[in-house]
């Protein structure tokens, strides 16, 4: 389902602006819209039983051009935040981005949802209309089921005389305090991400904001009739994003609703540790080949690599150290290592940092083995990310899979072409902004463009390299892409190394 939606949105928005690749960042955007609009609303809000409802009515109708729009923005951005947060969770689940190094973000995301819902619920109380009355009564009944109150909380809402102005002061405090806790936890949620994207691209942010404003003008958020605790609420216009559980509390029982909420929360929270668990060994540093250059440290998307003082007496200042629990086993650090070059003439090719499940030596062997049987015109080696659909091999096309396309050290492209193992190389990875390991294709793009070390040498003809970033392409789309690439290669003819270009520099052990 996600694949179909993503492909459709790719066509409409392009990969860079596809909202599905920015669900977390869109949640942040909604939060900031809610916070900014809430600040303004709070200036005019009266924290009293008699003043709350009229003050919001005045905001809504008396200054509809600003207060009314901001109130609507406040509400609709809140609803949108629930949608994007839940989609974000479902999508990460569908992509299995919750195990291993992802557990931290997943686990901290669960209480985030609770705080988000609590923030919204506390906001609905403040309006003190029929919906607020319903929310107050059902919330109190729900909380009364827990053995935490000596006197039932519901006794505070048995009639109008039981509610005091101090209650509204408490609510206002909660409606500010809980979102602040939410923001703090959002910050914690992204702590283990390097360069976490908490802002959507400008085009998407502006489009979303403009849509909120249009919605606010076309369909302004309004209060319902004022609360009256002497009469029961009849039909109420419910916000299903925040209050979906309330009918269950009302119709079932508070205990059953707690059981459901606690059960779902527990299951979701422990998902990262439920089978099937699949984790290979973490990246390992081979100190005899590590010169402490820090590129693996710079490129690791999860802060799993740190640079620490040298321990082996070598003349370099630092060495890379991998934290096993943070390592995602993506191999991006291997792609960043300057010693991971297949041209090396060492008896055994060992890079400064390696993924034990697929060493650089094994990768070279695998590529050489795969390309041996290639013949004819337009021979293509596809180096594909394991997270996307497998590329079908055919006559003239062989494929090698890596955990992430960012694991491929750029010299391998040079190696394949200069040794004429293939006429062209296709790098098939996740869509832009959707890399399973966050930066695999970004770093590869930058390396090919010569903007990031280790850069692809200038002598490598770029027309023989096709970067195909599409997370979930249709099989026919991949086949068509390959066919086009092969036709282009055929028109180029066999690869001829340009002697006038950058001379070949074969790298020996430990050298760049």
- Cβ proximity to other proteins, 299 vs 432, nearer residue: 432
CB of 282 to other proteins, least distance (A): 30
CB of 6 to other proteins, least distance (A): 12
Tell me the CA distances in angstroms from 366 to 339, 363, 381, one per residue in order: 18, 5, 11
Tell me the sheet residues that pair with 384. 401, 428
Cα first-last separation, the chain: 46
CB of 87 to other proteins, least distance (A): 10
Residue 387 binds other proteins, judged by CB under 8 A: no
Residues 62, 94, 155, 187: which binds other proteins (CB under 8 A)?
A: 155
- Residue 124: Cβ within 10 Å count: 23
- Cβ proximity to other proteins, 137 vs 296, nearer residue: 137
Helices (H), 329-474: 332-336, 360-372, 411-418, 440-448
- Cβ proximity to other proteins, 423 vs 445, nearer residue: 445
Residue 232 binds other proteins, judged by CB under 8 A: yes
CB of 219 to other proteins, least distance (A): 5
Residue 470 binds other proteins, judged by CB under 8 A: yes
- Cβ proximity to other proteins, 475 vs 508, nearer residue: 475
- CA distance linking residue 88 with residue 79, whole number of Å: 14
- CA distance linking residue 230 with residue 161, whole number of Å: 10
Residue 399 binds other proteins, judged by CB under 8 A: no
Measured in whole angstroms, the distance separating CA 38 from the mean position of its chain's CA atoms is: 27
Q: Are 423 and 378 in contact (CB under 8 A)?
A: yes
Query: C-alpha dihedral over 287, 289, 294, 298, to 10 degrees?
Result: -100
- CA distance linking residue 258 with residue 327, whole number of Å: 36
**Going by C-beta distance under 8 Å and a sequence separation of 6 or more, which residues neighbour residue 322?**
282, 283, 284, 285, 304, 305, 333, 353
Residue 468 binds other proteins, judged by CB under 8 A: yes
Q: Are 322 and 282 in contact (CB under 8 A)?
A: yes
Residue 234 binds other proteins, judged by CB under 8 A: yes
- CA distance linking residue 299 with residue 221, whole number of Å: 46
DSSP string, 275-293: SPP---PPPEE-GGG----
Residue 158 binds other proteins, judged by CB under 8 A: yes
Total interface residues for other proteins by CB under 8 A? 61
Structure tokens at 25: 């960042």
CB of 393 to other proteins, least distance (A): 20
Residues 50, 169, 191, 211: which binds other proteins (CB under 8 A)?
A: 211
Q: Are 283 and 329 in contact (CB under 8 A)?
A: yes
Residue 134 binds other proteins, judged by CB under 8 A: yes
CB of 492 to other proteins, least distance (A): 13
CB of 473 to other proteins, least distance (A): 8
- CA distance linking residue 409 with residue 447, whole number of Å: 9
CB of 369 to other proteins, least distance (A): 27
Residues 99, 370, 481, 490: which binds other proteins (CB under 8 A)?
A: 481
- Cβ proximity to other proteins, 104 vs 246, nearer residue: 246
Candidate segments 3-11, 311-319, 347-355, 406-414, binder of other proteins by CB under 8 A? 3-11
CB of 382 to other proteins, least distance (A): 13
Give 506's DSSP letter: P
Residues 148, 230, 275, 276: which binds other proteins (CB under 8 A)?
A: 230
Residue 226 binds other proteins, judged by CB under 8 A: no
Cα three-residue angle 214-217-221, rounded to 5 degrees: 115
Residues 21, 28, 168, 212: which binds other proteins (CB under 8 A)?
A: 212
Residue 490 binds other proteins, judged by CB under 8 A: no
Cα three-residue angle 167-173-175, rounded to 5 degrees: 100
Residues 238, 314, 321, 357: which binds other proteins (CB under 8 A)?
A: 238
Tell me the sheet residues that pair with 358. 355
Listed residue (78, 108, 105, 85) closest to 185, CA to CA: 108
Question: What residue has token string 């193992």?
Answer: 421
Residue 354 binds other proteins, judged by CB under 8 A: no
Span 241-300, contacts to other proteins by CB under 8 A: 241, 246-247, 250
- Cβ proximity to other proteins, 103 vs 145, nearer residue: 145
- Which residue ranges make up the site for other proteins (CB under 8 A)? 9-16, 19, 75-76, 79-80, 83, 134, 141, 144, 150-152, 154-155, 158-159, 207-208, 210-212, 214-215, 218-219, 221, 229-241, 246-247, 250, 431-432, 445, 465-470, 481, 485
């Amino acid at each position: 389902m996600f694949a179909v939606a993503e492909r459709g949105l790719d066509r409409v928005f392009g990969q860079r602006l596809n909202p599905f690749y920015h669900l977390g960042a869109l949640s942040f955007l909604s939060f900031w819209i809610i916070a900014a609009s809430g600040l303004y609303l709070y200036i005019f809000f009266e924290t009293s039983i008699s003043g709350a409802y009229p003050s919001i009515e005045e905001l809504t109708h008396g200054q509809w051009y600003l207060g009314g729009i901001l109130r609507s923005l406040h509400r609709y951005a809140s609803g949108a935040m629930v949608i994007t947060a839940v989609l974000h969770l479902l999508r990460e689940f569908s992509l299995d981005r919750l195990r291993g190094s992802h557990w931290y973000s997943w686990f901290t995301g669960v209480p985030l949802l609770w705080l988000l819902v609590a923030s919204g619920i506390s906001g609905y109380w403040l309006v003190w209309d029929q919906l607020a009355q319903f929310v107050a009564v059902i919330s109190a009944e729900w909380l009364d089921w827990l053995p935490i109150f000596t006197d039932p909380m519901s006794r505070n809402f048995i009639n109008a005389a039981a509610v005091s102005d101090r209650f509204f002061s408490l609510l206002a405090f909660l409606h500010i305090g809980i979102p602040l806790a939410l923001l703090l936890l959002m910050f914690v949620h992204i702590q283990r991400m390097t360069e976490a994207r908490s802002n959507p691209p400008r085009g998407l942010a502006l489009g979303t904001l403009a849509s909120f404003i249009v919605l606010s003008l076309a369909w302004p958020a309004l209060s319902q009739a004022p609360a009256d605790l002497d009469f029961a609420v009849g039909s109420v216009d419910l916000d299903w994003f925040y209050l979906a559980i309330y009918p269950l509390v009302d119709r079932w029982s508070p205990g059953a609703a707690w059981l459901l909420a606690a059960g779902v929360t527990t299951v979701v929270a422990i998902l990262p540790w439920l089978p099937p668990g699949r984790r290979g060994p973490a990246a390992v540093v081979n100190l005899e080949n590590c010169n402490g250059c820090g590129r693996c440290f710079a490129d690791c998307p999860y802060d799993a690599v740190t640079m620490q003082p040298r321990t082996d007496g070598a003349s370099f200042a630092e060495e890379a150290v991998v934290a096993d629990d943070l390592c995602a086993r993506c191999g991006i650090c291997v792609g960043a290592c300057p010693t991971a070059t297949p041209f090396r003439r060492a008896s055994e090719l060992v890079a400064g940092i390696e993924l034990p499940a697929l060493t650089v030596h094994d990768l070279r062997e695998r590529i050489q083995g795969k390309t041996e049987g290639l013949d004819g015109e337009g021979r293509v080696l596809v180096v594909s990310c394991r997270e996307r659909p497998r590329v079908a091999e055919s006559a003239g096309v062989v494929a090698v899979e890596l955990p992430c396309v960012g694991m491929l050290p750029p010299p391998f492209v040079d190696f394949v072409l200069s040794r004429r193992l293939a006429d062209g190389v296709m790098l098939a990875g996740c869509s832009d902004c959707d890399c399973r390991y966050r930066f695999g294709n970004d770093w590869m793009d930058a390396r090919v463009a010569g903007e990031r070390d280790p850069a692809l040498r200038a002598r490598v003809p770029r027309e023989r390299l096709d970067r195909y970033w599409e997370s979930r392409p249709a099989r026919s789309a991949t086949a068509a892409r390959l066919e086009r690439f092969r036709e282009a290669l055929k028109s180029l003819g066999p690869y001829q190394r340009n002697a006038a270009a950058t001379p070949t520099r074969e790298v020996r052990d430990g050298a760049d």
